[in-house]
Amino acid sequence: MPAFEGLLPQKHDKIVQVLLFRLCKWHALAKLRLHTETSLKLLGQSLRQPSDQIRKFQSCTCVAFQTVELPNEAAQRQRREVAELQSGQRTKPSRSGPQCKTFNINTYKFHALGDYVGTIRMFGTTDSYTTQVVSVYPLRHLYYIADIHMKRRVNLLIESSRGFMGNQTRKTWSASSLHRSGGIQSSGGSAKP
């Protein structure tokens, strides 16, 4: 991990280097595209080492350094507090300036690391599924495209039958009105006025 080497004092640098190496090892095993029982067993075992190292990082390295909010985080928090004071949701403001921030392992991200092996056994490798919410937009987009193609088809049918109509006024229909009136048949039929 040359990019991180020497950034911290020697004692803390060693803790960070070991932590990064163990997390990279775990991550490489978790992202495999093909798992066997042996690789899943290795993945489960490789989680213990980063877990111990993360606790060591929290209890030794994080305590040695005082960390505070970034300026934009402090400004955003203050704007939110002013809005809450004006709306009456808050009665007194908190102290101004950047507040202390500590490393917190009591989050879902850390908790979920232990579920990887079971999840891979149940659903397959992590590249074969997604937890992303499916949008309705693509379905609407497909309906829009189908409607455009249907209108073009109807206009072509009308243009081709124009020779039979003579010089009469040309009438166009939307695809939805033709479907309602039964003017378009699903087997590639024709338009009826």
Q: Say yes or no to pLDDT of 112 above 60.
A: yes
Max avg pLDDT among 4-13, 15-24, 85-94, 106-115:
15-24
Rounded Cα distance between 104 and 96, Å, is 23
Q: Say yes or no to pLDDT of 11 above 50.
A: yes
Rounded Cα distance between 138 and 120, Å, is 29
As a whole number, the mean pLDDT across the chain is 76
Of 21-30, 47-56, 159-168, which gets the smallest average pLDDT?
A: 159-168
Q: pLDDT digit string (tens) for 38-79?
A: 999 999 998 888 888 999 999 999 989 999 989 898 888 888
The b-or-e profile of 133-167 (16+ CB within 10 A means b, else e) is eeeeeeeeeeeeeeeeebbeebeebbeeeeeeeee
* Residue scoring higher pLDDT (76 or 145): 76
Q: What's the average model confidence in pLDDT over 146-165?
A: 58
* Percentage of the chain modeled with pLDDT above 70: 65
Among 167, 147, 170, smallest CA distance to 157 is for: 170
Is pTM beyond 0.75? Reply is no
Q: What's the average model confidence in pLDDT over 112-117?
A: 88
Q: pLDDT digit string (tens) for 126-141?
A: 777 666 665 555 555 5
Among 165, 146, 161, 169, smallest CA distance to 191 is for: 161
What ranges in the chain are assigned the alpha helix state H? 10-30, 37-56, 62-64, 71-87, 108-112, 116-123, 137-160, 162-165, 175-181
For the chain, state the CA radius of gyration. 32
Q: pLDDT digit string (tens) for 27-39?
A: 999 888 888 899 9
- Hey, what are 160's tokens? 């081709």
Q: Say yes or no to pLDDT of 179 above 60.
A: no
pLDDT at site 22: 92
**Bridge partners of residue 68, in order along the sequence:** 100
Query: What band does 98 get if pLDDT is binned at 50, 70 and 90?
Result: confident
Q: What's the average model confidence in pLDDT over 174-183?
A: 48
Q: Say yes or no to pLDDT of 169 above 60.
A: no
Among 19, 23, 179, 7, smallest CA distance to 113 is for: 23
Residue with tokens 């190496």: 21
Among 29, 65, 34, smallest CA distance to 48 is for: 29
Q: Say yes or no to pLDDT of 174 above 50.
A: no
